[in-house]
Amino acid sequence: MRQKMARFAENEERRNILQPGKAIYENIRGNWKTDYFKNDNPIVVELACGRGEYTVGMAKLFDNKNFIGVDIKGDRLWKGSNAALEHGLEHVAFLRTQILLIEKFFEEGEIDEIWITFPDPRPRDRDERRRLTFKRFLEIYKRILKPGGTIRLKTDNTGLYEYSVETISERPDVENLHHTNDLYHSELRPECLDIRTKFEEKFSAQGHDIKYLRFNFKTD
Ligand SMILES: C[S@@+](CC[C@H](N)C(=O)[O-])C[C@H]1O[C@@H](n2cnc3c(N)ncnc32)[C@H](O)[C@@H]1O
C-alpha cells in the first residue's frame, strides 16, 4: 500500500501521465499534438493498456508516431510511464480515465489507430455492456478515429473473441475485418510486431492461444 501511495505521488509529478488534478488533463482534448507531443505525427492509442507494453514497445519501433496508453489504474500506468522515461521516449503519454469517458480527451478524428490489449472479458451476460467491443464502445471509437483508422484487438479469451468477431462483422459500416484464433500460427502475426503484454505472457504460458482481430470503419 505504501509503495502504491509513493507511485501515485510520483504520478502527480510526471509529465507523461495525464490524470485528474493536472491542468493539461482538462484541456488536452483536440490539443495532443500542439500541447503535449509538439509535432504533427499520427496518434496511436492503446486501451486497457495496463503497464503499456504496446505503447512503449511500439514507441521504441516508431519514432514518427505518437503513443498514448489509457487505463484507469494509476499504479499500472506508473510502470508504463517508468519504462517510457527509462528509454527516453518523449513521444509517449499515459492517460488515466475510464474508457467510456474517452471523448472528454479526444476530439472527433483525433486518433489514427486503436489497440485494445487483453481487456477484461466480462463473460457474464449482464456485463455485456462493459465489454470494450460492445456497441456503445465501438460507436465511441468510430467518432474519435480518423476516417479509415484501424482498430486492433488482442485477447486470450475465446468468448470475447467470438463475441467481438460476431458484433463487428454484423456492422454495415465495417470493412477489412481480419481475424485469427491462433495468432502465433497466423499470417497476421507480423502486424502485431511480436510485442507481448504481461497478460499475454501469463495466458499463453497457461496454454491459451492468442486471438487477434483488426478492422476499420468505412470512410464513405
Ligand atoms: C486484463 S488487464 C490487461 C492489461 C494489459 N493490456 C496487458 O495485456 O497486460 C485489463 C486492463 O484494463 C483496464 N480496464 C478495464 N476496464 C477499463 C475501463 N473501462 N477503463 C479503463 N481501464 C480499464 C484495467 O485497469 C486493466 O489494467
The number of the ligand 1 atom at minimal distance from the alpha carbon of 130 is: 19
- Mutate which of 120, 153, 201 for ligand 1 pocket (most atoms within 8 A of beta carbon): 120
- Mutate which of 71, 81, 102, 155 for ligand 1 pocket (most atoms within 8 A of beta carbon): 71
Provide the grid cell at 23. Answer: 491542468
Establish whether residue 74 lines the binding site of ligand 1, counting it when its CB lies within 6 angstroms of any ligand atom: no
Percent of the chain scoring above 90 in pLDDT: 96
Measured in Å, residue 52 CA sits from the centre of ligand 1 at 10
> Distance between CA atoms of 126 and 122, rounded to whole angstroms?
9
The distance from CA 100 to its chain's CA centroid, rounded to whole angstroms, is 13
Q: Work out the average pLDDT over 78-87.
A: 98
150 with 214: CB under 8 angstroms?
A: yes
Establish whether residue 49 lines the binding site of ligand 1, counting it when its CB lies within 6 angstroms of any ligand atom: yes
Q: Whose CA is nearest to atom 13 of ligand 1?
A: 48
> Distance between CA atoms of 94 and 80, rounded to whole angstroms?
8
The number of the ligand 1 atom at minimal distance from the alpha carbon of 71 is: 22
153 with 214: CB under 8 angstroms?
A: yes
Establish whether residue 117 lines the binding site of ligand 1, counting it when its CB lies within 6 angstroms of any ligand atom: yes
Establish whether residue 119 lines the binding site of ligand 1, counting it when its CB lies within 6 angstroms of any ligand atom: yes
Establish whether residue 137 lines the binding site of ligand 1, counting it when its CB lies within 6 angstroms of any ligand atom: no
Q: Is 39 helix (H, G, I), strand (E, B) or coil?
A: coil
> Distance between CA atoms of 194 and 74, rounded to whole angstroms?
26
- What structural domains does the chain harbor? 2-17+39-217 (3.40.50.150)
Q: Any alpha helices (H) in 14-134, and if so which ranges?
A: 23-27, 53-61, 74-86
Q: Work out the average pLDDT over 195-202.
A: 97
Residues designated catalytic: 120
Q: How confident is the model at residue 2 (pLDDT cuts 50, 70, 90)?
A: confident
Q: How confident is the model at residue 86 (pLDDT cuts 50, 70, 90)?
A: very high
Q: Work out the average pLDDT over 65-92.
A: 98
Measured in Å, residue 111 CA sits from the centre of ligand 1 at 19
Q: Tens digit of pLDDT for each residue in 200-213?
A: 999 999 999 999 99
pLDDT at res. 27 = 96
Q: Work out the average pLDDT over 90-100.
A: 98
Distances, alpha carbon 128 to alpha carbons 10, 73, 97, in Å: 35, 21, 20
